[in-house]
Structure 1
Amino acid sequence: MSAAASTLPTETNEKTLVDRVLPISDSQHEELHSSYESINDRDELREMLHGKDVTLQAQKEALTAVAVEVETLRKEVASLRDCLDREEAKSGAALATEREMHADALDGERTKQDRLRQRIDRLKTNSEQHRQNAQVAIMNANTARTIPVTNIYNTVIVQQQQQAPRPQAPRPVGIHCCVAPSRLPPIPSRSRTMDRYPFGPPGNQPRSRPGSRPSTGSSGR
Structure 2
Amino acid sequence: MVTFPGSLDDRDAARAVRAAGGEAVALWHADPWLHDVDAVILPGGFSYGDYLRCGAIARFSPVMASVIDGAHNGMPVLGICNGFQVLCEAHLLPGALVRNDHQRFVCRDQTLRVENTRTRWTSDYREGQEIVVPIKNAEGGYVADAATLDALEAEGRVVARYVDGNPNGSQRHIAGISNEAGNVVGLMPHPEHAIDALTGPGTDGLGFFRSLLGVPA
What is the TM-score when the length of structure 2 is the normalising length?
0.16
Name the structure with the higher strand share. Answer: 2
User: Larger RCO: Structure 1 or Structure 2 (Cα < 8 Å, ≥ 6 residues apart)?
Assistant: 2
